[in-house]
Chains A and B, each alone.
Chain A
């Protein structure tokens, strides 16, 4: 048994990449742009809304895959806006200052906090792949159960001063003080 522990100890090293499920990425890809279209925070008349995917270096291919999936599943219906997507590593998150929304792939808490502060300052909607990032201040995530629901972080929304379509509040679950209701 000692050899087993030795093996596990030997390989317990820290590098930067998470594990993602391709089907879950597809679900996020379908939902995110459609929620973006229901974000009425910035009342500019620009016909383009920009989305920024932030990733750890090890997740570059995942970000690329998510970008492809979002592009492929953009709403076909005629909507007021079109959506353009960029993917940036976390260290370049400041370059996402002119976007409408940010998708946060998994990362260390410090990086998440930094992006959340940045998003609050610039009134940018944030999505997290992992719903546990709601605790760190992400604005929206998804509940993957029998049915798929958006989860809205109420306190984050208030601090971001975001204005979302009332429909979202009708269909979403609400995250508040650590509980999802």
Chain B
């Protein structure tokens, strides 16, 4: 017995000694905790995107400001694989990996997310009014090219643009910024954070931009008409006001965005009689978000969003009559409100797995719906744009597993199921990707994605009216599949080389063939044959030897398009080759200069129009930035310094191209508070 007691005593003693040996000292515990915090910061700030399986590009405010970028739209044009353009009526287009609808301008194929709020409307499914959002209010932009619904949110057919604003980031941001530039451009804004109580803070943002831009538009004057203007009506009044309140796990956000601008070259590329007609988009959202750790391994979250969207469009056009062209106006008013509810649970309970599951519900209802057409003789037609009060309810379930398979292989497997009430059908979305760490400096990624986009109410339910394209309630959702591979070489923090290869296909593609309004049999929205896209993207960044940063980007894309007459051709308006080069010099920590060069190759036009392709162009921008000892930041930008001719695709093929402004300049200041 005593032997047993001695044996147990020795065991206990050994246990105590081993425990004592293994117990971390305060210094050791402090380091382990700091490493955990650092890993969380790296993930939160997206510093380690080369070391996660997802394909993400991150743009940060500091770099965007140094490049002279002023808003979200300009920032996106930096990304290899994205091409941007402006349509004849001022709507901005972001084309991801070649998937454009050259005759169909209102429907995003990507999803824009602002601070965890997906901008989601069912009328137009368009978020171009947010693209003026200024860089000064942005912390970073994450871009995923390709189907990303299972990873982010439904409807992300060709990609996701995720914006994190300054007031939503944890940093104590306080600044006033002003800008003045060409075409009487004026911009001012403020971002401010106040501590509230022991653990809360309130962030507020306010921004306003206006300009009176216009380019020579003589050739857009319809023969026999006498407009009072000779320049395009590109004036802009744009503002955002927003607030974010944080306390513990609660976040309350309210943000209102308005973009009001002239109709540029007119809805049908005929210059309007005056510059009064306009397009006015307003989007308001309120979001309540609550995140709570349930245990050491589980986190729970719930978010409830309310949003309201309104578009008021006053336009003027010309009707062809035996006595000549007769001007008429059409006033469109559409509005909707929607609710989004999402609950999610993330768990690290299983070793090497981070599992995120969630439930999502979306409910949208159209409220305003009117279309009035007025002729000078007093004959008016009052109607509605679509059938009365369409509704859409979506219920979704999703699950994502971020798994460490081996020391050198990570994976991400995601699936999402969305059921849409008006489509009376459910759709699966899939995202899966793998990361291989070949060596400490080399890694490779491979992935597959599948997503869908349901038709908008305009595509489904537009009434048959003169000048209005008819909807088709039997349309199917378009569905995209993509495979992608990437190789990354990152020998140090200062050098990075990445090459992406992809191939994708969209089936049941939603599009329209434009015909003259006089054609009574003009086709409406329809599901078109599949289109495929393939390409290559290269990106190289080097900071060497001292103080120089060079970034080179190149993308090649070939996307199929079939004209109404059945001609197979590359996508109209999309360049096969795009190249960018940025060169930044930091003379010291306070003074820097950046040169940015962009080449857009020849862009094909619709073969049915027998027009010449759009010629290539190369623009060079330069930006000086200076930080005063008090922390004031001054940026002087000259864009397109050689006044190169920049043109976009003519929507109706009426004119050679849509002309864009040449050289412009701006001076902006940011004062820390």
Chain A residues proximal to chain B, CB less than 8 Å: 1, 3-4, 7-8, 11-19, 21-24, 26-27, 30-31, 34-35, 37-38, 56-62, 75, 77-80, 106-108, 129-132, 142-149, 165, 167-168, 171, 173, 179-180
Contact = CB atoms under 8 A, between A and B. Distances in A.
A30 B39 CA distance: 11
Contact of A12 (B48, B50, B548): B548
B622 to A, nearest CB: 8
A1 to B, nearest CB: 7
B274 to A, nearest CB: 40
Contacts of A106: 494, 546
A145 to B, nearest CB: 4
Contact of B440 (A80, A129, A179): A179
Nearest to B62: A22
A171 B588 CA distance: 37
Contacts of B410: 146
Contacts of A12: 548
Contacts of A130: 492-494
A68 to B, nearest CB: 13
Contacts of A59: 589
Contacts, number: 158
Nearest to A167: B28
Contacts of B597: 4
A78 to B, nearest CB: 6
Contact of A16 (B26, B547, B590, B642): B547
Nearest to A150: B35
Given A8-B583, A19-B586, A132-B492, A34 B30 contact: yes
A15 B549 contact: no
B39 A16 contact: no
A132 B492 CA distance: 6
B583 to A, nearest CB: 6
A61 B24 contact: no
A14 B546 contact: yes
Contact of B586 (A7, A18, A38, A77): A18
B509 interface: no
A27 B595 contact: no
Contact of B47 (A11, A21, A58): A21
19 contacts: A3-B642, A7-B620, A8-B581, A15-B547, A15-B586, A15-B588, A17-B586, A23-B47, A24-B493, A27-B38, A30-B34, A34-B30, A57-B588, A75-B27, A77-B26, A132-B492, A145-B48, A146-B410, A168-B31
A85 to B, nearest CB: 16
A107 B34 CA distance: 27
Contact of A148 (B26, B30, B39): B39
A34 B289 CA distance: 35
Given A37-B30, A80-B27, A179-B440, A4 B620 contact: yes
B39 to A, nearest CB: 5
Contacts of A142: 38
Given A31-B38, A34-B27, A145-B48, A132 B620 contact: no
A144 B47 contact: yes
A27 B38 CA distance: 5
A140 to B, nearest CB: 12
Given A79-B26, A146-B43, A147-B39, 12 more contacts: A15-B585, A16-B588, A19-B584, A30-B34, A38-B28, A60-B588, A62-B589, A75-B26, A106-B494, A108-B546, A145-B48, A146-B48
Nearest to B590: A61
B196 interface: no
A25 to B, nearest CB: 11
B26 A78 contact: yes
A34 B31 contact: yes
Contacts of B584: 19
B593 interface: yes
A10 B221 CA distance: 44
B586 A58 contact: yes
Nearest to A74: B30
Contacts of B590: 61
Nearest to B53: A146
Given A24-B493, A59-B589, A11 B583 contact: yes
A59 B590 CA distance: 9
Tell which of A22, A107, A147, A171 has the most Cβ of chain B within 10 Å: A147
Nearest to B629: A61
Contacts of A57: 588
A131 to B, nearest CB: 6
A137 to B, nearest CB: 15
B547 A31 contact: no
A58 B587 contact: yes
Tell which of A22, A58, A107, A145 has the most Cβ of chain B within 10 Å: A145
A165 B27 contact: yes
A144 to B, nearest CB: 6
Nearest to A32: B34
A178 B32 CA distance: 26
B27 A38 contact: yes
Contacts of A21: 47, 493
Leading 4 A-B pairs by shortest Cβ distance:
A132-B492, A145-B51, A61-B589, A34-B31
Contacts of A23: 41-42, 45, 47
B5 to A, nearest CB: 34
Nearest to A108: B546
Nearest to B548: A12
Interface string B46-60: 011011100000000
Contacts of A80: 27
A56 B546 contact: yes
A26 B39 CA distance: 11
B384 interface: no
A127 to B, nearest CB: 13
Given A23-B47, A148-B42, A15 B595 contact: no
Given A8-B595, A11-B585, A11-B595, A58 B31 contact: no
A107 B404 CA distance: 36
B488 to A, nearest CB: 12
Contact of A31 (B31, B51, B492, B593): B31
A77 to B, nearest CB: 5
Contacts of A179: 440
Nearest to B543: A19
A34 B30 CA distance: 7
Contacts of B29: 77
B60 to A, nearest CB: 8
Contacts of A15: 546-547, 585-588
B37 interface: yes
A76 to B, nearest CB: 8
Nearest to A131: B492
A14 B587 CA distance: 8
A16 B546 CA distance: 6
A91 to B, nearest CB: 15
Interface in B488-515: 491-494
B118 to A, nearest CB: 26
A17 B584 CA distance: 11
Contacts of B595: 7-8, 11
B545 interface: yes
A106 B587 CA distance: 15
A153 B599 CA distance: 44
B42 A60 contact: no
Contact of B24 (A37, A62, A145, A167): A167
Contact of B39 (A35, A129, A146): A146
B401 to A, nearest CB: 15
Nearest to B584: A19
Nearest to B443: A145
